[in-house]
Structure formats: structure tokens, C-alpha cells
């Protein structure tokens, strides 16, 4: 349902100035429409704008939390222009931009774009939070050393991050033999989708593997394609809406989410449900974080 009032098309939720001014906002959204290493279905460059467009139909009021999380302030920055010269150059550009924003004591949200953007974002947060760990929600392990000639491919994200930050992978259901061997040799905690569906208490095991300060990276192919078909590399067997919200709420209650990203939406022409789901999911996460800090 469209909301009434003065709305700004550029802003997440269409928020007016009083709820989107940078100085007053607890949350800052950085759209990063980068797509340089897609290997199956292209289109993630259109993800940030599709999510922002859909977000204008999301109600401010969250009935689960009985509050309007938007009142904490959500500033939407201008899109970060992609550097097409190489994925590595783009990662450095993201890092430089994120480092400045992290120092301003906001909860930074990277809105992708492909998963490669996470490397630069995590690098910036890791410099500020020495005990940082990453919670990767993803269908894929993303632990290849190189893919299609690039070490900064979306398929190599967690291999690059592991070099400077510990992490936990959840929802995995696609992994190569080499990736599985690497994960085992390095003691990387991977929670496979099939296993967590059979273990309702798996969230406690995830929490034990995370530090106090956590960066959340949510690749939308973590979700089952039945509710999220608009991704570049869909995998059957993912989590559904309420399962995902329950998991995220529990993690956010017991860990300090200092930053996050939402990546890999590849909009489907004429099908708006995935765009809206992504927008509402991001707003739910903002709500859970806001509820924790109140």
C-alpha cells in the first residue's frame, strides 16, 4: 500500500528529510550497484535501485516490534559509482568509502550489487573492531581461490575475507571439493542448510562461533528460490521467510551487529515480489537492531 505524505524517491522507504538526515540517522545505506564478475544470471547492478523502489511500499510500522524503526533515522547516500577497471580496484574504492563512514559511528549498510562488495566493507570494519567476526548467510561457500580468472570474483569472497577476519557460514548448500577441504583445514564453521533444518537449536551453535561484534553479510540466495528467485545463482533448499526472521532476531539479540550488507538481488522484469521481499527483509533487520539498542 502506498503511504501518504512527503516522500523522497532517492531514499530507502522514501523517508522525508527529518528521518533521513545523516547527522540524525542511526543507519546509513550505501547503494553499490557493482557487477563485474557475475557467472550465471547477470543483473545485480540493478539490485540497489530495485530495493529502494520497492521499499516505498513497506509500512513504517512493524507489527512484530510494535514500533516504527524508521524513526531511528535511515540515511540513504548517493550510489557509489562502480570502478570498471577491475574487481580489485572496486574493492579498494569501497574500502576507502566505507572506512570514512565507519569512523562516523553509524551502522553502515552496503546495498549490492554482487557479493564482491563485501570484501571492501569488511576490511573497513575489521580495522575498527579488532574482535570482529563475519556472519555469512549464503547458499554458496564462496571459498574458491580464483574463479574465471579473478581472485575477487563473487565466488571467492569468503576466501579473501578469511585472510584478515574470522567468519561463520550459514545456509550453505553448494560447495566444491576443494572448498570443503580448505574449510576443514582452516577450521571454518559452515552450517549447511540441510543440517540446520533438522536442528532447530542450531542458532546457539552459530552464536558460540561468533565474537561480540559481528558484521552480517546476507546474500539473498541464502533464501529458498520459491520466495527469492531473483538471484544470479539460485540453489534449492534454502530457508523461508519466518525461519530467516527468527534466526536473525535471535542473533541480533545476543550479538552486536556493527554493519551489514544485502547483496545479489538480480531483478526479474515484471516480477516485483522478490524486490519487495528484499526491501522488507532489510527493514526487519533494521528493526531488530533498533529494538536491541533501545
What does the pLDDT look like over 20-67, one tens digit per residue?
A: 999 999 999 999 999 976 766 778 999 999 999 999 999 999 999 999
Mean pLDDT of 184-198: 94
pLDDT tens sequence across 108-154: 999 999 999 999 999 999 999 999 999 999 999 999 987 777 887 88
The region of weakest confidence among 6-10, 17-21, 63-67, 244-248 is: 6-10
C-alpha–C-alpha distance, residues 73 and 27, integer Å: 6
Residue 58 near residue 281 (C-beta atoms within 8 A) = no
Predicted pLDDT of residue 37:
64
pLDDT at residue 293, rounded to an integer: 58
Instruction: Classify each residue of 136-169 as buried b or exposed e, where b means 16 or more C-beta atoms within 10 Å of its C-beta.
Output: bbbbbbbbbeebeebebbbbbbbbbbbeebbbbb
Q: What percent of the chain is modeled with pLDDT above 90?
A: 84
Cα distance between residue 49 and residue 58, in whole Å: 15
Q: What is the structure's pLDDT at 146?
A: 79
CA distances from 174 to 28, 158, 206, 237 (A): 32, 14, 19, 10
Mean pLDDT of the chain: 93
- Is residue 4 predicted with pLDDT exceeding 60? no
The pLDDT value given to residue 230: 98
Which helix (DSSP H) or strand (DSSP E) does residue 171 occupy? Answer: strand 166-172
pLDDT at 282 over 80: yes
* Mean pLDDT within 233-258: 97
pLDDT surpasses 80 at 2: no
- Sorted by where each starts, the structural domains of the chain and their CATH numbers stand as 12-293 (3.40.800.10)
The answer to whether residues 268 and 86 touch, using CB atoms and an 8 Å cutoff, is no
Cell numbers found for residue 113: 550489487
Q: Residue 28: its pLDDT value, please?
A: 98
State the pLDDT confidence band at 6, using cuts at 50, 70 and 90.
low
* Grid cell in block for residue 146: 580464483
Q: Report the distance separating Cα 181 and Cα 107, nearest Å.
A: 35
What local confidence, expressed as pLDDT, does residue 147 receive? 74
Can you tell me the mean pLDDT for 258-279? Answer: 97
| 133 contacts 158 by C-beta, under 8 angstroms | no
265 touches 220 (CB < 8 A):
yes
Which residue, chain included where needed, has cell 533501545? 294
At 154-190, the pLDDT tens digits run: 889 999 999 999 999 999 999 999 999 999 999 999 9
User: What pTM did the predictor assign?
Assistant: 0.95
- Would you state the pLDDT for residue 252? 98
- Picking from 290, 211, 268, 280, the residue whose alpha carbon sits closest to that of residue 244 is 280
Distances (CA, A) of 122 to 91, 125, 195: 10, 5, 27
Interatomic CA distance for residues 251 and 241, integer angstroms: 16
Amino acid at each position: 500500500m502506498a503511504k501518504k505524505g512527503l516522500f523522497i524517491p532517492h531514499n530507502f522507504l522514501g523517508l522525508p528529510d527529518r528521518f533521513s538526515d545523516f547527522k540524525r540517522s542511526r543507519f546509513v545505506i550505501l547503494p553499490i550497484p557493482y557487477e563485474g564478475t557475475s557467472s550465471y544470471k547477470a543483473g545485480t547492478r540493478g539490485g540497489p535501485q530495485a530495493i529502494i523502489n520497492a521499499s516505498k511500499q513497506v509500512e513504517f510500522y512493524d507489527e512484530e516490534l510494535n514500533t516504527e524503526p524508521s524513526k531511528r533515522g535511515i540515511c540513504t547516500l548517493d550510489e557509489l559509482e562502480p570502478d570498471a577497471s577491475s574487481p580489485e580496484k572496486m574493492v579498494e574504492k569501497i574500502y576507502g568509502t566505507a572506512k570514512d563512514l565507519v569512523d562516523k559511528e553509524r551502522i553502515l549498510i552496503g546495498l549490492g550489487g554482487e557479493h564482491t562488495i563485501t570484501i571492501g566493507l569488511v576490511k573497513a570494519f575489521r580495522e575498527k573492531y579488532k574482535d570482529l567476526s563475519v556472519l555469512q548467510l549464503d547458499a554458496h561457500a564462496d571459498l574458491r581461490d580464483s574463479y574465471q580468472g579473478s581472485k575477487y570474483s563473487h565466488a571467492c569472497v569468503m576466501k579473501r575475507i578469511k585472510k584478515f577476519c574470522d567468519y561463520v557460514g550459514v545456509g550453505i548448500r553448494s560447495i566444491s571439493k576443494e572448498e570443503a577441504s580448505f574449510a576443514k583445514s582452516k577450521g571454518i564453521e559452515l552450517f549447511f542448510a540441510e543440517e540446520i533444518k533438522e536442528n532447530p537449536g542450531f542458532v546457539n551453535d552459530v552464536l558460540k562461533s561468533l565474537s561480540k561484534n559481528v558484521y552480517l553479510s546476507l546474500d539473498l540466495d541464502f533464501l529458498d528460490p520459491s520466495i527469492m528467485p531473483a538471484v544470479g545463482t539460485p540453489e534449492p533448499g534454502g530457508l523461508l521467510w519466518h525461519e530467516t526472521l527468527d534466526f536473525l532476531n535471535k542473533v541480533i539479540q545476543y550479538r552486536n551487529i556493527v554493519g551489514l550488507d544485502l547483496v545479489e538481488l538480480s531483478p526479474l522484469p515484471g516480477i516485483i515480489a522478490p524486490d519487495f521481499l528484499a526491501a522488507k527483509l532489510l527493514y526487519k533487520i533494521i528493526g531488530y537492531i533498533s529494538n536491541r539498542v533501545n
